[in-house]
Amino acid sequence: MRKRAKPGRLAMAAAAVLGLAALLVMPTAGHAAAGESLSVDLSSSRGPSTGVGEGFLYGITQDGTQPADQYLQPLGINAFRGGGWFSGGWIKDNYSYGSATKADIASITAQATRLTQPPYHAQYQVILSDLWGNNGGQPSNEVYPCDNGNCSNWVSFIDSAVGALQASGLPFAYDIYNEPDISVFWTRGMNSSQYFQMWDTAFREIRRIAPNATIVGPSLAFTPQSNPGEWNTWLAHVKSAGTVPDMITNHDEGDVDDPVTVSQSLGNALSANGVSARPLSANEYQPADRQTAGVTAWYLARFAQSGYTNAMRGNWSCCMTPNLTGVLTQSNGTWQPNGNWWALRTYADMTGTLVNTSGQVGSTAISASKDSTAKRAVAVIGDSNGYTGTASVTFNGLASVPWLANNGSVNVTVERIPDQYPLSAPQVVYDQNLSASAGSVTVPVTFQAAHDAFAVYVTPAGSTGGNTSGELHAVGAGKCLDVPNASTTAGTQLQIRDCSGGSNQVFTRTSANQLSVYSGSGQMCLDANGQGTTAGTKVIIWSCNGQPNQQWNINSNGTVTSALSGLCLDVTGASTANGALVELWNCNGGSNQQWTLG
């Protein structure tokens, strides 16, 4: 058994208090069996892949500008939860609409302006209790909402805060109170008469001010599995009072709260209490002691097969640090992706239609999708208990997806995502063309270290290997990789330019994984200048010599990476202009690192 500290996000405020709420639970899964077999059924369909789990609790700056788009946009973020947090809110303003509350409102609005508008489409859940100032660091003499039966100041707060946010015209969802079942946030007792007075008052006031706004709750720390009585009491009351929220929210931060089984228990609890089904949101997930690439991938694989509509990673170094809840690592003064970020990034490639898989085998989980438009199937694999050893993945039903084969074969690429901080790119550990004639293919997956995660890409044969020639298209710019002025001078740095079909834009991928340009005695190769392995290394042409800095991987996710460094071929500054220079940079999933050959 393992002692599970209460889920939450404010380690500094909660460290001493949360021990009082500790809960002993058994892990939900054991280690995976050695040589276990995972499977994917490409002939099946579970519905659209919607990226459940690509959300965050805080983790961006107060003004909403950081982290940069290159780290946020590739994840396809679809949910965010915040509430200002930093100023002290309504309490700091002596329970009035003052400068602290207004600063939080400005921060929420700035963040939502970025995250809810194109190219993003996130639901922004506003934590009203954080905006009030109940973030775990509130003063001991705080006046709580509806103390002594008086809710007038709580009504004033709702009117001021929700009114100001609605005036922005942005689409907010309102989370009335965070973790009321934990005393660090609510000392008046969960499901007490005061709690229900607070809840009902807020619900009705929000409905009056913003009739069409989404209300979410109750955002309990403990699931119906761990505390069914608390959930049933709450559901019975809100059903009777007519204050059932539009979306049911809870936290999956236990050891280990399985999104599949928790969402099922939520659905069962709703039904048992006569509450109609509605969207579910795990608006905090993943405990503090399981922040690894493998566990992140496990959660994502389980969320994909769960009944949740969205989910947001918990934040254990809260709140305005722009590390996306810890999936970015500061290195040499800059934020860079770590293994957790890459688990989220590869999961974002699970587009199209979800398919059936073996689900969870032991403590290893797999989810997958197929996408006829992108001509790929993608599987994400993670383990919740740090398994090391061998496994295999079988993709069945290939006959049902003829668009996935080329001349009867498919290419399978396995990317290992080690739990490293930072991590410039996943490691390609398998890349083979396999016959699809038998209707299935099986590939090995080896967990080399505890907390590995994996992404497996199945694409038409020839999409990543073999001798291929043609223009190397810069997808984000709509231009081509170009040798300036058709130069043959060694050391000339590459650029992008409007595609012309000229010999200075035609590259050939050789069997030695070189990218050559020109032919005969004038042949040159794409080269990482000076055998560079750092971000910013110039990409040049040089006489072909077969050295590692002239070897390149053309990956199924659209990137071209240096075999020497693992860094990505990158259009500097994400420019789309003619003459923009090309260099190596940390892989980040940006469109300026997407290329197609031929």
| CA-based nearest residue to 284, from 6, 586, 503 | 6
Rounded to whole angstroms, the Cα distance separating 379 from 366 reads 7
The yes-or-no verdict on residue 17 having pLDDT over 60 is no
Rounded to whole angstroms, the Cα distance separating 315 from 301 reads 20
Tokens of 481: 């990789």
- What letter represents residue 479's amino acid? K
What is the share, in percent, of the chain residues with pLDDT greater than 70? Answer: 92
Tell me the average pLDDT across 559-582.
92
Rounded to whole angstroms, the Cα distance separating 295 from 453 reads 8
pLDDT value of position 428: 85
Look over the chain and give the mean of its residue pLDDT values, rounded to a whole number. 89
Tell me the average pLDDT across 315-333.
90
369-396: pLDDT as tens digits: 999 988 899 999 999 998 899 999 999 9
By three-state DSSP, how is residue 410 classified? strand
pLDDT value of position 437: 93
Beta bridge partners of 571: 582
pLDDT value of position 463: 52
pLDDT value of position 15: 35
pLDDT value of position 138: 83
Tokens of 78: 């679809």
| CA-based nearest residue to 418, from 334, 587, 297 | 297
Beta-carbon contacts of residue 525 (< 8 Å; ≥ 6 apart): 514, 515, 516, 517, 541, 542, 543, 544, 545, 550
Other CB atoms within 10 A of residue 411 CB: 23
The yes-or-no verdict on residue 21 having pLDDT over 60 is no
Q: Using alpha carbons, list the distances in angstroms from residue 384 to 22, 32, 39, 160, 387.
A: 21, 9, 18, 44, 8
Which of the four pLDDT bands, split at 50, 70 and 90, describes residue 2?
very low
pLDDT value of position 511: 55
Q: What is the CA radius of gyration of the chain?
A: 26
Tell me the average pLDDT across 155-164.
98
Domains of the chain: 2-30+50-347 (3.20.20.80), 353-460 (2.60.40.1500), 468-597 (2.80.10.50)
pLDDT value of position 13: 39
Which of the four pLDDT bands, split at 50, 70 and 90, describes residue 311?
very high
Tell me the average pLDDT across 153-157.
98
Phi-psi label, residue 349: left if phi above 0, alpha if psi -120 to 50, beta otherwise: alpha
Tell me the average pLDDT across 80-94.
91
Q: Which helix or strand (DSSP H or E) is residue 47 part of? A: strand 47-48
Tell me the average pLDDT across 487-492.
91
What is the share, in percent, of the chain residues with pLDDT greater than 90? Answer: 72
340-365: pLDDT as tens digits: 999 999 999 899 999 999 999 999 99
DSSP string, 327-386: TEEEETTEEEE-HHHHHHHHHTT--SEEEEE--EETTEEEEEEEETTTTEEEEEEEESS-
Which of the four pLDDT bands, split at 50, 70 and 90, describes residue 512?
low
The backbone torsions φ and ψ at residue 126, rounded to the nearest 5 degrees and listed phi first, read: -90, 125
Which of the four pLDDT bands, split at 50, 70 and 90, describes residue 24?
very low
The yes-or-no verdict on residue 10 having pLDDT over 70 is no
Q: Which of 54-63, 292-301, 558-567 has the lowest mean pLDDT?
A: 558-567
Q: Which of 204-213, 398-407, 503-512 has the lowest mean pLDDT?
A: 503-512
The yes-or-no verdict on residue 234 having pLDDT over 60 is yes
Give me the helices (H) in 127-241, please.
128-132, 152-167, 193-209, 228-241
C-beta pairs of 49-52 under 8 Å, 24+ apart in sequence? 49/304, 49/350, 49/351, 49/352, 49/353, 49/354, 49/369, 50/78, 50/309, 51/76, 51/78, 51/347, 51/348, 51/350, 52/303, 52/304, 52/306, 52/308, 52/309, 52/310, 52/311
Tokens of 536: 């910013």
The backbone torsions φ and ψ at residue 339, rounded to the nearest 5 degrees and listed phi first, read: -60, -35
Q: How many helices (H) and strands (E) does the chain have?
A: 11, 35
402-419: pLDDT as tens digits: 999 988 999 999 999 999
Contact between 344 and 422 under an 8 Å Cβ cutoff? The reply is no
Other CB atoms within 10 A of residue 403 CB: 12
pLDDT value of position 464: 45
| CA-based nearest residue to 390, from 413, 362, 409, 369 | 362
The yes-or-no verdict on residue 26 having pLDDT over 60 is no
Beta-carbon contacts of residue 333 (< 8 Å; ≥ 6 apart): none
The yes-or-no verdict on residue 11 having pLDDT over 80 is no
pLDDT value of position 468: 63
The yes-or-no verdict on residue 4 having pLDDT over 50 is no
Contact between 36 and 387 under an 8 Å Cβ cutoff? The reply is no
The backbone torsions φ and ψ at residue 341, rounded to the nearest 5 degrees and listed phi first, read: -60, -40
Tokens of 370: 């197929």
By three-state DSSP, how is residue 443 classified? strand
Which of the four pLDDT bands, split at 50, 70 and 90, describes residue 544?
confident
Q: Which residue has the higher pLDDT, 532 or 317?
A: 532
The yes-or-no verdict on residue 307 having pLDDT over 70 is yes
Q: Which of 258-267, 456-465, 558-567 has the lowest mean pLDDT?
A: 456-465
DSSP state of 398: G
Which of the four pLDDT bands, split at 50, 70 and 90, describes residue 467?
very low
Beta-carbon contacts of residue 443 (< 8 Å; ≥ 6 apart): 392, 393, 395, 412, 414, 430, 432, 434, 456
102-132: pLDDT as tens digits: 999 999 999 999 999 988 999 999 999 999 9
Rounded to whole angstroms, the Cα distance separating 320 from 59 reads 6
